[in-house]
Amino acid sequence: MKLFDKLAHVAVAVACTLGLAQARAQEVSIKAVGAWPEGNFFSLNFERFVQKVNAEGKGVIQINYLGGGAKVMPPFEVGNAVKGGVVDMANVTVNFYTNLLPESDALSVSTIPVQEWRKNGAYDYINKLWGEKLNAHYLGRGIDNMPYHLFLKKQITKPDVTGMRLRGLPIYRDFFQSMGANVLTIPPGETYTALERGVIDGYGWPVSGIFDLSLQEHTKYRVEPGFYNTEVGVLVNLNTWKRLNDKQRAVLTEAAIWMENLNLENAKKWEDEKKRQAAAGIQPIVFSPADAAAYSKRANDTIWDSIIKRSPEHGQKLRQLLTR
């Protein structure tokens, strides 16, 4: 009987050890990077997402966040790193990989909340396209309902920046050029120096985030209204995504939906941000109603004309799914 009891105890111990080992073997760790440094405004929601996954995904999936910004890799290389499987996951804006996927600009001009994308078929269409052209799964949108603005060192009274040198991204290059600007592509981290040295007279930037790089020190004006809808999203290498089981995918997807819902209170945040900018000496430039309407129309027409010209089939469909 004693021998039987000993054997039973051994069997239980072995079973527990094997069960623990099996559980550990099933837990997957994936590598993630960001296009911005840790703690930067554009990293915050992603970092909260990582914390949530790592807290709720124990034994299932964990994210090894390697950090972000130029110390990890140049921002404009992040999309390529996901496509090639150098990293499994990235927090990045479509503005940094339009060279790989021109249609991606459409996400930055969406006029419907990201929550509706999961209901109207937009997410399905996006992931089919991102999978085919970028070898990536678009997991979730970390920043939504956040307009860009034109920030200037010099005052203007109408939508005319003829002769000005502006820092711009591909998504609004045509828009700025249509108002007479000379547009320069400058990495985010070099924008302060470009302003300080007089290389540029202004820049396009989301309504929030300028304090992260101290840009307010060389900024006097913010043009109203804003334009477009800043996009920051989480990409997963498609091969990595396919290797995950249903439970692992579910942990990531549920956390991504939670992250997207963090954006529902953004309007109040942007009003607070504008008050902070005012306290730093940044004055709003408010156009006449007619000029403001023309400014907004020009912004939307130039980008959608560009998207549809580059991709007639997908551009039209994305416009149907992402705008009202």
DSSP-derived 3-state class of residue 200: coil
Q: 225, 286 in Cβ contact below 8 A?
A: no
Longest dimension (CA), the chain: 96
How many angstroms separate the CA atoms of 134 and 182, rounded? 30
pLDDT at 188: 87
Per-residue pLDDT, 7: 39
Q: In what helix (H) or strand (E) does residue 142 lie, and over which residues does it extend?
A: strand 136-143
Q: What is the pLDDT along the chain (324 residues), one digit of tens a residue?
A: 444 454 344 444 434 443 444 444 589 999 999 999 999 999 999 999 999 999 999 999 999 999 999 999 999 999 999 999 999 999 999 999 999 999 999 999 999 999 999 999 999 999 999 999 999 999 999 999 899 999 999 999 999 999 999 999 888 999 999 999 999 999 888 999 999 999 999 999 999 999 999 999 999 999 999 999 999 999 999 999 999 999 999 999 999 999 999 998 888 889 999 999 999 999 999 999 999 999 999 999 999 999 999 999 899 999 999 998
Q: With beta carbons less than 8 A apart as the criterion, state whether 162 and 179 touch.
A: yes
Domain extent listing, the chain: 27-145+230-267, 148-229+269-311
Query: Domain 27-145+230-267 belongs to what topology?
Result: D-Maltodextrin-Binding Protein; domain 2 (3.40.190)
The predicted pLDDT at position 249 comes to 98
- Report whether 232 contacts 141 (CB < 8 A): yes
CA distances from 93 to 35, 84, 174, 301, 316 (A): 8, 17, 19, 21, 21
Asked if 99 contacts 78 with a C-beta cutoff of 8 angstroms, the reply is no
Return the DSSP state at 53. Answer: H
pLDDT at 170: 86
Decide whether 27-145+230-267 matches 148-229+269-311 in CATH topology: yes
pLDDT, residue 25, reads: 55
Closest-CA residue to 48 (of 118, 143, 133, 134): 143
Residues 31, 66 contacting (CB under 8 angstroms)? yes
148-229+269-311 belongs to which homologous superfamily? Bacterial extracellular solute-binding protein, family 7 (3.40.190.170)
